[in-house]
Amino acid sequence: MARLKWDPKDPGDDADYWLSVVTAMAPTGAVLTDVVVTVPDEPDGVTLSQPVDFLDNVVRTRFTGGKVGTYKINYTFTMDTGETFNADAILTVKERIVR
């Protein structure tokens, strides 16, 4: 299982995050055909904005809201070979410092 840690987002931001399905995670030459993204079910937690989209084995997810803290985002990928695999990403929500 692969794990990625992204740059933090502010609770008030809508932010896009990208995840590349690299050969270390997928069979050589395989093409991504489906992805399921789940986020923690917490009150006031970060929310996944639909739809999730992908092109050339790169997935874009948009997250909104959230309270200050760290969230584990779960991905399940399906390749054209029929294989599936999982990856996790860590998304931190942090207040922006304004000076």
**Residues 86, 77: Cα–Cα separation, whole Å:** 6
pTM of the predicted model as reported, rounded to 2 decimal places:
0.83
Q: Is the pLDDT of residue 95 over 80?
A: yes
Q: Is the pLDDT of residue 56 over 90?
A: no
Q: Is the pLDDT of residue 35 over 50?
A: yes
Q: What is the model's pLDDT at position 71?
A: 92
The DSSP result for 41-81, as a single string, is --TT-EEEEEEEEEETTEEEEEEEE--SEEEEEEEEEEETT
Q: Helix, strand, or coil here: 92?
A: strand
Q: What are phi and psi of 87, to 5 degrees?
A: -145, 155
pLDDT-derived band at 22, boundaries 50, 70, 90: confident
Cis peptide before 51 (omega within 30 of 0): yes
Q: What is the model's pLDDT at position 1?
A: 47
pLDDT tens-digit map of 60-72: 999 999 999 999 9
Assigned fold of 2-93? Immunoglobulin-like (2.60.40)
Domain residue spans in the chain? Answer: 2-93
